[in-house]
Chains A and B, each alone.
Chain A
Amino acid sequence: MFLKLLPAGLAYGILQVALRFKNDRELARHLKARDPHAISDLYDRYGRLTYSVICRIVHNAAAAEDLVQETFLRVWTRVQSFDQERGALGPWILTIARHRAIDHLRSIEGRMPAGGSEIDRLEHAALFTDFEISALSIDRARRIRAAFEKLNPNQRMVIELAYFEGLSQTEMAGRMKQPLGNVKSWVRSALKALRDELTQAAIA
C-alpha cells in the first residue's frame, strides 16, 4: 500500500535492501554466469519499476505483462555484452522496456515502428557504462519529478509525448496542431530545465 503511493523509482530504491546480491555489479556477474537466483533477483529489483514504466506507456495490464516478459528475456539474452564492472543495469533495462512498449504503442496506433537495427543500436548493452552509481537514486528521482512538475503545460506535454508516447518533434507538432518551431522550443527548454536539475543534484 505504502509503495503504491510512491513513484516507481522511489519504490525501487526502497526495495534494494532486501535483495540477495548486494549491487548491480554482483548481480550482472551472476546473470552472465546463468545463476537462476540472479534472474529472480533481477526481477525483484527491477520488475516493478519495469512494469510501472510499461503500464504508463501502454495503459493495458495484459500487454504490459507480455512486454515485461519480453524485456527480461532480452536482458537475459543480451547480458553477455553488458560490462559488469562499469555498466548500469537499471538505465539499460528501462531503455529496453521503453522501446518494447513504444513499439507496441506504434503498432496498435498504426504508426511506423522503429527499425529493428536502430533499436538494437540504441539499447546495446555496451552503451550503458560509466553511469554514476546513483543513476536511479531516490534523491534524483525526487528532484527530477519536482522539476517536471514545475514545467509549463506545453513543456510537460512534449516531454510526455516524447518519453511515453514515442513521438518525434514532427509528430508532436501534428498531434498538438502547433508549428514545429514552437514544439522544438518547448522540447529544448523543458529538457534544459530537467538537465539543469540533474546537474544541480550531482553538485549537491
Chain B
Amino acid sequence: MKLIKHLIAMSAIAFTAFAVAAPAPAPVGNEAPDVLVKRISNDVIETAKADKDIQAGDVNKVTALVDAKILPYIDFQRMTALAAGRFWRDATPAQKTALSNEFRTLLVHTYSGALSQIKNETVEFKPMRADPADTTVEVRSQVNVQRGEPIQLNYRLAKGPSGWKIFDINVLGAWLVETYKGTFASEIGKGGIDGLIKKLAERNQQLANKPVKAAR
C-alpha cells in the first residue's frame, strides 16, 4: 500500500498545489503562463500560511480564498468536458452546466481541504518548454516537503479569449482529467449523464455537512 499512500499524499499535495497554483486578482492581459502560475501559487501559499483561521479549517475563509485567487484562472467547463470525453457531445446545455458546476464544487471542496494543510512547503518551478506562439503549455513545478521526495505538480494551460487558464493539473504523475475520466465513463455507463450529475451532487451534499478540514 505504499504506492497508495504515495498516491494519496501526492493528491493531497497536488490539490493543495492546485489551490496554491491558482491565481490572484487583477487579470494581467499579457502575463506569461508560467509567471501567472507562479504568482498565483505564491500568493495563495503566503495567504494560507499567514492566516490562522485558514489553517484551522475555517470554511468561509478558505472558500473565499479559493474563489478570489484560484477560480478565475481555471477553465472548469473545459476540464469537465475533457473528463467526460466523448459523452460531452451528447449532453444537453443544461446537463453541461449542471455537470461542470457539481464537478467544480467537488474539486473546490478538495482544494480547500488541501489548503488548510499548507505548512512549510515551498514550491520550485522548472523551465518551461514552450514556444512563444504556443497556445497550450505545460508549467512544471515541484513542492518540496519537509520529509520525503518532492511532490511533482504540473499544470496545463490554454490561451483563451480571456487569457491563460488552467485546464488540467498533474499531481505526482497523475493528471486530474485522466484520473476522473474512468470514473465519469463508468458512472455515465450506469446511469447516463444525469446519473453522474446525481452522484456528484450526492457527494457534494455529504461533504457540505462536514468541516472543510480533513480529520486529523
Q: Tell whether A pairs with B.
A: no
Chain A residues near B (Cβ < 8 Å): none
- List the interface of chain B (C-beta within 8 A of A): none
